[in-house]
Chains A and B, each alone.
Chain A
Amino acid sequence: MVFSALREKLESPTLARLREIPLFSDLTAGELRIVDNLLHERDFVNDEIVFDEGEEGQAIYFILKGKVLICRQGRPVDGAIAELSAGQFFGELALLDDAPRMAQVRAAQDCTLAVFFREDFLGLLNTHAGIASKISLQLSKHIGRRLREAVNRYVV
């Protein structure tokens, strides 16, 4: 292929960091670049609120650096639900619909998050169905795992 020399063979550090996120693990380098173009990086300081419980969800968040705390609204100490760190993600249900957020999320440390907007995901379904289906498959696996864990907890 004449143009093969022009193609980007090496994965940039950003793309390597994105590949660590389970939702993007199946994507090729070209597909990751397309997704990377759609992501927004945001820095949050320790204790800053990412979103509130009951707020309309518009985006999923990927933790690139630092930790976040998922808790009941306004109860970071006695209402803590989970603490997530780099490589994990939250707010995933917002990719599917605009239902209210189920909990509040605050930065547990200074952290960097990548934000993936639902409209961009829906756009991918139209323009790059292959990418969207790979992400959807990983998302389904993730939600299934969470459901099994919840059922197991309830049964035990």
Chain B
Amino acid sequence: MATSRSSPGPVTWCGIIAVTCVLLFLFQKILWLVVPFLLALVLYYLLAPLARRLVLAGFSNDFVAVALSGAFLLGLGGWLLLLYPWALANAEGWHATLMRYLAGGYSLIDGVLTGMEHKFTFAGNAHLAETVRARFTAMQEHFAEEYLGAAVVALGAWLPSLLLIPVITYFLLKEGANFRKFLGEAIPNAYFEKTLYLTYAIDRTARAYFLGLVKLTLLDAGLLSSGFALIGLSSPLMLGCVAAVLGQIPYVGPLLGCVVAILVTGTDFPGQVGLAYGVLGLFVTVRLLDDFVFLPAIVGKSLRLHPLMSLLMLLVGGAIAGIAGLMLVLPIMGVVLLLGETLEMILKDPRLRARHAFAVALRKRAAEVDLTAAG
């Protein structure tokens, strides 16, 4: 650690929490911009080493930015062009597959609930199996009009904003260094050396956090895919990747991933409740490994937040902005924490403030040197 930084005081903490909440509230209003920006940031951090190599090889910054972001845009465009006819051709089959997996999952749950109703009187009185059956039948009948249409509209609405990713990445690659300089220019000389640390720390925090999440997702995907393959589920790699990506959404993500895997288990192995417990055990194991081994080792303490504070802020983030809030609250708070700490450090240093006042007076005097009224 370059600079010894004491923990912020209670007033600063209140400010940090308040600013984080306000930012979350504002960001959920412009999620169409925030999400592509964050994805572009991840892409920028992934491409940055290659960009540096190309610059070192003698290519200009501008050329490297155009080449890398252009290559990504072409790849994304090509993938979408290929995806569209393929999706149209297979839509019918997907619907059937989805309904098959839902039915498989339902039969598994129905089996468990019916078993419970036979064993426990209170479960029998609650008529859980009957309620679930009625809801599933209703969902199956109205699936297309209630869910499919909304999903297609949501996908259509998000597609243009996702095309912003290569554009934002281009500007980050091209102007990343200049942006840091631009921010630095706004800081007075007296505070410059102290606050220069800030831009570096924010960059390092964001890099550690986002690249850490990418590594964690890959690791989870590998573990889950291997586990699914051992259990004998169909398409273990795809299932592992989907569950790992979903798992990066705090709290609800792992649960969603687990539900998807249990649906597949119920379909592939009808009536074998033991295997569903196996899948559940796999998810719990991977979650424990994530929380106690991988997260500290990969993402580390990059955000420097107390676990209890992280937990509370996740709850607050979820309450303010839902799933987006859960995903955004920790990185936002990490950055706001650095800003708050730096601001507190500057405001509490009377020498720095005196030096700044002295510099302002010197500049004023220099500007007025030939403006004295003649005798």
A: residues with CB less than 8 A from B are 3, 6-8, 29-31, 33-34, 37-38, 40-42, 44-52, 55-56, 58-59, 98, 110, 115, 117-120, 127-128
Contacts and interface: CB of A to CB of B under 8 A. Distances in A.
B200 A117 contact: yes
Interface stretch (B137-145, B189-197, B262-270): B189-197
A88 B197 CA distance: 24
Contacts of B362: 45-48
B59 A7 contact: yes
A-B interface, 3 closest residue pairs, ranked by CB to CB distance from nearest: A37-B177, A7-B58, A119-B200
B55 interface: yes
Contacts of A37: 61, 177
Contacts of A118: 2
B127 interface: no
A56 B196 CA distance: 13
A31 to B, nearest CB: 7
Contact of A34 (B56, B192, B194): B56
Nearest to A44: B189
Given A7-B58, A47-B362, A49-B358, A127 B197 contact: no
A116 B138 CA distance: 66
8 contacts: A6-B63, A8-B58, A37-B61, A45-B362, A48-B189, A48-B358, A115-B192, A119-B204
Given A52-B351, A98-B3, A115 B193 contact: yes
B206 to A, nearest CB: 14
| From B57, B58, B204, residue with most partner A Cβ within 10 Å | B58
Interface in B64-116: none
A127 B52 contact: yes
Interface in B147-161: none
Contacts of B350: none
Given A45-B366, A49-B355, A58 B197 contact: yes
A119 B271 CA distance: 59
Contacts of A56: 3-4
Given A34-B52, A40-B192, A49-B190, 4 more contacts: A37-B61, A38-B177, A49-B358, A49-B359
A117 B196 contact: yes
Interface string B33-62: 000000000000000010010011111110
A34 B55 contact: yes
A51 B190 CA distance: 8
A12 to B, nearest CB: 10
Interface in B207-234: none
Contacts of A115: 192-193, 196
A121 B355 CA distance: 27
